[in-house]
Amino acid sequence: MSRDDYPYPEDEFDELGADRTPQGVHRAPLPRWRQLLPFIIVLILAPTLAFVAVRAISGGDGGDEPPTGAETTTQAPTDEATSEEPSTDEEPTTPEPTTEDETSEEPTADLDYAVGIWVLNGSGVGGLAADTVTVLTEEGWEDANAADYNRSQPSGTTLFYDNAEQLDEAEAVGELLGISNLVESASAADGDIVIVLRTDFELP
């Protein structure tokens, strides 16, 4: 019905109603879980749908899937080890047998390192006899002694030994000190080895 067909005169209520505009019905706010429910559903369904799509594209059963990282690392050394076969061209080398002469050099004679040795300094160089005794001691000669010598003979550096039984010791001492003039003389040595140093002697 329009306002023109309204048969009653307007009153104060009609005037108030004319100034009002239509308003919607007031609705109570939704609970928070209902607001978040669509997002939760999307978060759950999206990975599931993506997994199903990938499985469908790749073939489904996963029988031809490549090995995982652990399988790859453990399998690689095995394949490499099986692929490398020992060469048959190279013959194994065996050490050649050694004889007794090669393994150990036995001394030609048992030396008496306790034999008495006197080093007499007739060279005019102070301390030369003492230095010579040090060399002898370091090589294992146990009874080496130093002293001065004032006689004119012998004129050159000489090593005296008492008898033939001391020859091995005399030769060993002479070789150590570089003395080649060895003389057997019981009167000069008196049971010991006596070395007279002259100006021609030099410590090794």
Considering the domain boundaries, does residue 35 fall inside one? no
List, for residues 101-150, the tens digit of each pLDDT value: 544 444 445 999 999 999 999 999 999 999 999 999 999 999 999 999 99
Considering the domain boundaries, does residue 147 fall inside one? yes
Considering the domain boundaries, does residue 180 fall inside one? yes
Mean pLDDT of the chain: 76
Considering the domain boundaries, does residue 41 fall inside one? no
Residue 118: strand, helix, or coil: strand
- Cα–Cα dist 135/106, whole Å: 23
Structurally, the chain folds into a number of domains equal to 1
Considering the domain boundaries, does residue 75 fall inside one? no
* pLDDT for 183 beyond 80: yes
Amino acid identity, residue 72? T
Considering the domain boundaries, does residue 43 fall inside one? no
User: Residue 176's domain is classified under what CATH number?
Assistant: 3.30.70.2390
CB atoms under 10 Å from CB of 131, counted, come to 13
Considering the domain boundaries, does residue 30 fall inside one? no
- Cα–Cα dist 17/15, whole Å: 5
Query: 171 is in which domain, residue-wise?
Result: 116-195
Task: Note the pTM of the prediction, 2 decimals.
Answer: 0.48
Phi, psi of 39 (to 5 degrees): -65, -40
- Cα–Cα dist 49/31, whole Å: 28
Considering the domain boundaries, does residue 175 fall inside one? yes
Q: How confident is the model at residue 179 (pLDDT cuts 50, 70, 90)?
A: very high
- Cα–Cα dist 148/3, whole Å: 160
